[in-house]
Structure 1
Amino acid sequence: MIVPEQDSEPQLSLATLDALHQVSYREAGLILLPEKVRMVQSRLRYRLKETGIDTFESYLALVRTDAGARERRMMISALTTNVSHFFREPHHFDILADEVLPKVKARLKAGGRFRIWSAGCSNGQEAFSIVMHLLDKDPSLLDADFRILATDIDPKVIAFARSATYPDRMTDNVPETLRKRFMQPTQLKGQPAHKMADACRNLVRFKELNLMNTWPMRQTFDAVFCRNVVIYFDAPTQDALWPRFHNVLAPDGRLFLGHSERVSAPETVGFSVTGPTTYTKTRSQPINSLNLKAIQGETHGTS
């Protein structure tokens, strides 16, 4: 009789998945549902091999400790999906160029600033799409006080974004005219690639940032892109973020979300819907005790 081979790979139990969910939720607001057990198991097996740990239970014990702080970051990196491409949901770039840019031009001519935040920037395509689109509309921005802050929780994608070098397959959505103007042909691991021109790179600052933590920015933004990020959060976590985004937006600033994301009751946090998944800051929001906690990053429940 032939005895079937036992699966030698470590197995993730639902109990351990739930405990890992508690850690990921506290750390980054990530929800690990029971139906995702195979996905989580597959993604974290590599982390077990990297750390030399034999079981998911032992891995859980590590990421629960202070000594496991770095590994918690690597765990979140493994669990998050970094799918993006250039000029995704292009209507947002048109709104930015046609409605936001004209309102800041007078300010720029007077020596003022123009700031945009790409929150959850992944490999940087969103930030560089913004740069290319706006420079195509108004080349004078190169001489203005115009900058983009691009942040992500994953240190690996931030490192990739800083390199600003993309395999040709990742640049398919870049119009040929913009590719010729703002990108330079190069090689990446022996394969054809394109690198963003220095003029574009100099306008973007990439930083690692966990949206659940304190935000260090002290000045406001004319637009915030946070697209296809909050879909990984539950409703209470999302609701805690809206007043924080409201707080960092300038008057009449725009908040752009992903196609399947919505601000619940936008009027209660001082937003109005002004386009497809586009929200405009319409008034100052009184900071009551609940909003103050949210703005300070203290409102984040545990499940």
Structure 2
Amino acid sequence: MQDSLQAADIAHKMSAKDFSRLSDFIYNSYGIRMPVEKKLMLQSRLQRRLRALNMTSFGEYVDYVFGKNGHEELVLMMDQVSTNKTDFFREAHHFDFLVDTILPELTGGSSYKKSLKVWSAGCSSGEEAYTLAMVMESYMEQNSSFDYHIHGTDISTKVLQVAVDAVYKEEKVEVIPLALKKRFLLRSKDPLKKTVRIVPELRAKASFARLNLMDASYDVPNSFDIIFCRNVLIYFDKKTQESVINKLVSKLKRGGYFFLGHSESIMAMNVPLRQVKPTIFVKI
């Protein structure tokens, strides 16, 4: 109750000017739309940063963020502002298509020895990246021999650390098929923790790094075979979506596959993609 009162006391002090400065910066630097309807959300998410810095007003916080020593705080601020919702096997039909169509096509039988490169853009806390690794590892064991690597990027350092640690609550992994749980998850030695961790050999197949999709260019490897960028672009306006998709696809091989989330579309966009299934595209 006391924390709620403190939060309310801080929240009401965000002026229209402070909100405008923050929302304009967030949109221009990170592409995330922050209309006035999201003022309460922004206030709520940043209250923790004010308390951590022993500040009592948003005006003081905004001045600090945009001051000469505010660079590190910008990273911590975006950890609070960015939305990071994800799950294992989210939109499962995408992984079915990966197994049934893409992997047989790209690996080309047992003689395939190259390494497939997959990018999970907007990977959040790693569930998508490790789902991809589970699916690809299982396919590799039962079909052709090939290597692969998953590269995950996100704007939030907080969720990226979760991905690196690869420790998840038991309820988060309930959706994972039992055979994959037995193969790829380790229970905590402390039964009170009720957590699991991704096995080391799977963790070794994934790497994670911070990346802002609004950057002019992306410091990631070229020639990915597959890119997943799902439920990320919904926070951008149409013009920004088109720009981001073109930058992402510039890192994709011709004939490589690109995945969007169920509510996202490339309709009326000038992008080098051809739809093969709803929300699944190939680079042309």
Q: TM-score, normalised by structure 1?
A: 0.85
Aligned to 1:245: 248
Change in CA separation of 1:122 and 1:142 when aligned onto 2, cut-off 3 Å: farther
- Return the offset for 1:124: 0.5
Aligned to 2:267: 264
Secondary structure of the structure 1 residue equivalent to 2:175: coil
Aligned to 1:8: 9
Q: More deviation in 13-22 or 98-107?
A: 98-107
Alignment gaps of 5+ in structure 2: none
Which residue among 193, 196, 218 is the counterpart of 1:191? 193
Superposed, 1:1-303 pairs within 5 Å as: 8-10=9-11, 11-106=13-108, 109-139=111-141, 144-186=146-188, 190-213=192-215, 214-266=217-269, 268-282=270-284
Tell me the percent identity.
33
- Return the offset for 1:147: 0.4
Superimposed CA distance per residue, residues 213-265 of structure 1 (whole angstroms, 9 cap, x where no aligned partner): 23112421111111111111112211211211221111111111111111233
Q: TM-score, normalised by structure 2?
A: 0.90
Distance in 1, matches of 2:150 and 2:70, equals 32
Contact 1:113 1:146 in 2 (8 A): yes
Aligned to 1:292: none
For the aligned residue pairs, the C-alpha RMSD in angstroms reads 2.2
Give the counterpart letter for 1:8 in structure 2.
Answer: D
> What count of residue pairs does the alignment treat as equivalent?
277
- Return the offset for 1:279: 1.4
Contact 1:82 1:122 in 2 (8 A): yes
Give the counterpart letter for 2:126 in structure 1.
Answer: G
Distance in 1, matches of 2:229 and 2:135, equals 18
- Return the offset for 1:141: 8.4
Alignment gaps of 5+ in structure 1: 283-303
Secondary structure of the structure 2 residue equivalent to 1:67: coil
Give the counterpart letter for 2:193 in structure 1.
Answer: Q
Give the counterpart letter for 1:123 in structure 2.
Answer: S
Secondary structure of the structure 2 residue equivalent to 1:150: strand
Give the counterpart letter for 1:238 in structure 2.
Answer: Q
- Return the offset for 1:173: 0.9
Distance in 2, matches of 1:69 and 1:124, equals 26
Q: More deviation in 257-266 or 163-172?
A: 257-266
Distance in 1, matches of 2:61 and 2:144, equals 48
Change in CA separation of 1:67 and 1:179 when aligned onto 2, cut-off 3 Å: same
Change in CA separation of 1:132 and 1:110 when aligned onto 2, cut-off 3 Å: closer
